[in-house]
Structure 1
Amino acid sequence: MANLSVVQVNILLLTLLLISIASGLCFKQQQRSVVNGVQFNHPFMQSMLMFIGEALCFLWFIGYKKKYREQYAKEAQQAAEKGLKLEINKAIYAIPTLFDFLSSTVSFFAMNMMPLSIYYMFRGAGIMVTALFSVLFLKRVLYRQNYLGLFLTVAGFIVIGVTAIVLSDSSQDNNQLILGIILIIFSFVFTSSQLVLEEKLFSQYHLNPFEVVGYEGFWGIFITWIALNIFSYIPCPSNMDCPDGMMESVPTFFKTVFTMEGDDQPTLLIMIILSIFIIMLLNGLGLCVTKYASAMSRSLMGVLSPFLVWMITIGLGWDKWKVGQFVGYVVITFGVLIYNEIIVIPLFGFNLNLKKNILKRQQELEAIPKEQELEKRDSENKNLASSENAV
């Protein structure tokens, strides 16, 4: 794929936002489904569905490579000229895939323990870990406005967490809610590791985003298959609602999905099928954002979607309006906008190291040697002209 314009990148981000919302609603509807008195609770199988969707992205890659053969070859040539490697050991994809599996499975457990809006708002806190990892491993530099944005983000999440626990419904188990929050925080490390590693790969290799997602899907199916064979025999903790008393039960999953009885069918089956194709789009577009924007931009999308998810879940009757939750979200939003330098504070040095100012200074520094070279040439030409006149 050729480089995208600013407008195209913004359209890509908006599309990713909408698909991300659809993904959350789809998987939450699965978990809300009850068939023959059995609640759907299959985090490992939901991870398998996710990786099947990712594997389908490889078909997109094959189609693109076949239809735009010359364009693909030209992109490879341009990448080689920039110093990017054209060949990669496919086993490397297993590393970000493992992080993806751990993050997704833990997150599915967490999603089942809390309202979807709270889940989305806490998922956005991953920006903090991604920022830290970007500094440590990608050698990014954070400035005052970045730290202020991250501080506001943390403050907003604390407000949301306290509101969720204090004002939770009587039917909501606070212990489950707290455990869900802990699981989400635990998943941040895996998610951020995956995003930063993928960005690192894109900086070293010429990779098509859909090719990467496809290979990660194949590796994910294999990793999840191993996990299913392990966790299907591990008893479920007493404080968790698990199928057949085990961490996972594949037979119960298929029995629940294909039993066409009850008010939640065939909705559950439709959501299962739909989730595969939504994930195909979500992960493919997500890696496009990582390639053409940055891992940070991809993480920021997770911060922008919660309010829309919250409004939708209120409309569906899944959630309620809470002032504290709204205040927390507003604080988070300001934090994100300040971090992204969309809101600029012209006080206390918060506007000294904006990206545009840094870029301008770099361009000025690069222009100095060119000006010196031109002056040197002019001087040499004048000396040469003087010598010729003297002759």
Structure 2
Amino acid sequence: MSSLANVHTCGLLEIILFILAILFGTGCSICSKTMMSLTGTNGTFEKDGSPHMESFQKPLFQTFGMFVGMLLGLVMHWIVLAFKLPFPGYEFGDAEAEDAEKGPTERTALKSKPSDVSKVDSTQIPTWMYFFLAIPAIFDLVATALCMMGLQYLDVSIYQMLRGSGIIFVALMKQHVLKEHLQTFHWVGVFWNVVSVVIVGATALLGAGGVDGGSTNVSASETFLGVCLMMAGAFVQALQFVFEEHVMKMDVPAPPLLLIGMEGFWGTVLSLVVMYPLAFFLPGTDHGSYEDPFNTWNMFLNSTNIQVAFVIYFFTIFFYNLLAVLVTFMLSSVWHAILDNFRPITVWVTDLFIFYHISPAFGEMWTQASYLQIVGMGVLIYGTAIYNAPNAGSVLLEGEWYSFGIDCSKEYEAIKREQEEAEADAAWEQKQQEFKVRKLSSFLESPRISVHTQALRGLGAQHH
């Protein structure tokens, strides 16, 4: 097989995982926004005896909470190993090893497949892997820090546009680092994803009247610094996505739950020993610090609403990260980036529902700029459907008006031929396995029949 048809089949399971990832990703974004708008007490009191209330704007705490939530992956990993539960990315070789000691049988021959040869028993994970998985945690922490530093110089709309452009870095690294060739229609799909992000960002800018994060008093040089920091953050985030895909497909792969759990473990450690000490000593508006962890902890202990919001955020962020990693495992790192590009639109739709059907105190109201956001949603779906080709439900670029004159018919035909060849190879291998089964299950292999009886039956057969 050549590298031409590096097209991942997007079946029903992959579609379900992608949709669930969107739902949980939307949920954790809403929870994150809600926590930022909450107020609570840190246990101190005003002169009149009333509790001192302040806003719970703690972005580093949410990053720390994300890593703590991901620790749940380790618990699930150990449960899957202990009970040998079926889960994507896990292989258990005990039963096959026992059967091999007993000799080949019809059951083991039917179970074995040529592709199973390269699979590694998930119970035999080397010790170095647990330390190796500190790398994606470092990427995640550095990307978050760079993006947050850039955000203070930029409007939120610009922030969202630059963060969404990370899909370009992911696609480039997938082709030049992972050495998986992307076809022309893949790049067209990536292009339309970027266009959709720009439209969504422009919508936010227009809807906010040009002021979305208080950057109007920022100089041109500071704005340029903010853009550089954001682009650097998007690049490091792309490194994380591509590394996660690579580490789950190595000769000794990391199972998805272990990847999530160890990323959470190392992220928690780095947050406690690096991120929070720096945030405490850097000057800022949180009681003199950039973010005061002691004040954060006191507010968490003394505010029930913050505790409830954090518990919801804890589970939504865990399941989002788990599902996002499964999307990377079963599809690719580019699909992970596409998933992140869907979130601004799904969050906006959810905010509209909250504003008009739950409480106007939260959510977002419809504006004239919202029509443009509908266009952005359509462009995003269009670009994703192009990237998904030639799977079912995709958009094929064959020179029609909606293809803007782009014709990728030869690429689709080449992919189809390679897929047919792969199916033919699989069918041939299956026939070989069936032939081995028939041979191994004959009377000659039965331990209940003596050698003399087998020989006599063989001689009798010759007279017929």
* TM-score, normalization by structure 2: 0.67
1:253 corresponds to 2:296:
yes
What is the DSSP-based 3-state SS (H/G/I as helix, E as strand, rest coil) of the residue aligned with 1:349? coil
| Counterpart for residue 383 of structure 1 | none
CA distance in 1, matches of 2:365, 2:150: 19
CA distance in 1, matches of 2:210, 2:182: 43
Query: Which of residues 5, 12, 15 in structure 2 aligns to 1:10?
Result: 15
1:352 corresponds to 2:436:
no
What is the DSSP-based 3-state SS (H/G/I as helix, E as strand, rest coil) of the residue aligned with 2:208? coil
| Counterpart for residue 248 of structure 2 | 202
1:32 corresponds to 2:68:
no
Instruction: Tell me: CA distance 1:334–1:9, structure 2 relative to 1, closer, same or farther (3 Å).
Output: closer
Task: Kindly indicate whether the alpha-carbon contact (under 8 Å) linking 1:31 and 1:112 is maintained by their aligned counterparts in 2.
Answer: no
1:285 corresponds to 2:323:
yes
Query: Which of residues 214, 233, 238 in structure 2 aligns to 1:192?
Result: 238
Instruction: Tell me: CA distance 1:367–1:289, structure 2 relative to 1, closer, same or farther (3 Å).
Output: closer
| Counterpart for residue 92 of structure 2 | 73
Segments of 5+ residues of structure 2 without an aligned counterpart are 1-8, 41-51, 98-111, 356-362, 400-405, 429-464
What is the DSSP-based 3-state SS (H/G/I as helix, E as strand, rest coil) of the residue aligned with 1:38? strand
CA shift for structure 1 position 137: 0.5
CA shift for structure 1 position 333: 2.9
Query: Which of residues 388, 403, 416 in structure 2 aligns to 1:340?
Result: 388
CA distance in 2, matches of 1:108, 1:246: 15
1:129 corresponds to 2:177:
no
Greater shift, 223-232 or 358-367, is seen at 358-367
CA RMSD of aligned residues (A): 3.6
Q: Deviations over 1:26-64 (max 9, x none)?
A: 111111112344222222221111111111211111111
Q: Which residue identity lines up with residue 57 of structure 1 in the other structure?
A: G
Structure 1 or 2, whichever has the larger Rg, is: 2
Q: Give the length in aligned residue pairs.
A: 356
Task: Kindly indicate whether the alpha-carbon contact (under 8 Å) linking 1:148 and 1:335 is maintained by their aligned counterparts in 2.
Answer: yes
| Counterpart for residue 67 of structure 2 | 51
Q: Which residue identity lines up with residue 335 of structure 1 in the other structure?
A: G
CA distance in 2, matches of 1:141, 1:5: 18
| Counterpart for residue 271 of structure 2 | 224
Q: Deviations over 1:305-354 (max 9, x none)?
A: 33221111123343243233333333333222222221112114223213
| Counterpart for residue 403 of structure 2 | none
1:271 corresponds to 2:302:
no
Q: Deviations over 1:250-285 (max 9, x none)?
A: 11112222333xxxxx33221112222222222222
- Percentage identity across paired residues of the two chains: 22
CA shift for structure 1 position 102: 2.0
What is the DSSP-based 3-state SS (H/G/I as helix, E as strand, rest coil) of the residue aligned with 1:41? coil
Query: Which of residues 326, 329, 347 in structure 2 aligns to 1:309?
Result: 347
| Counterpart for residue 376 of structure 1 | none
Task: Kindly indicate whether the alpha-carbon contact (under 8 Å) linking 2:283 and 2:289 is maintained by their aligned counterparts in 1.
Answer: yes
Task: Kindly indicate whether the alpha-carbon contact (under 8 Å) linking 2:167 and 2:194 is maintained by their aligned counterparts in 1.
Answer: no
CA shift for structure 1 position 232: 0.8
What pairs with 1:146-165 in structure 2 (closer than 5 Å)?
146-165=186-205
Q: Which residue identity lines up with residue 272 of structure 1 in the other structure?
A: F
Q: Which residue identity lines up with residue 69 of structure 2 in the other structure?
A: G
CA distance in 1, matches of 2:20, 2:145: 24
CA distance in 2, matches of 1:332, 1:182: 25
CA shift for structure 1 position 105: 4.2
Task: Kindly indicate whether the alpha-carbon contact (under 8 Å) linking 1:145 and 1:350 is maintained by their aligned counterparts in 2.
Answer: yes
Instruction: Tell me: CA distance 1:113–1:308, structure 2 relative to 1, closer, same or farther (3 Å).
Output: farther
Instruction: Tell me: CA distance 1:218–1:57, structure 2 relative to 1, closer, same or farther (3 Å).
Output: same
Higher helix share: 1
Task: Kindly indicate whether the alpha-carbon contact (under 8 Å) linking 1:156 and 1:332 is maintained by their aligned counterparts in 2.
Answer: yes
CA distance in 2, matches of 1:315, 1:181: 32
Task: Kindly indicate whether the alpha-carbon contact (under 8 Å) linking 2:162 and 2:234 is maintained by their aligned counterparts in 1.
Answer: no
CA distance in 1, matches of 2:386, 2:210: 37
Task: Kindly indicate whether the alpha-carbon contact (under 8 Å) linking 2:205 and 2:212 is maintained by their aligned counterparts in 1.
Answer: no
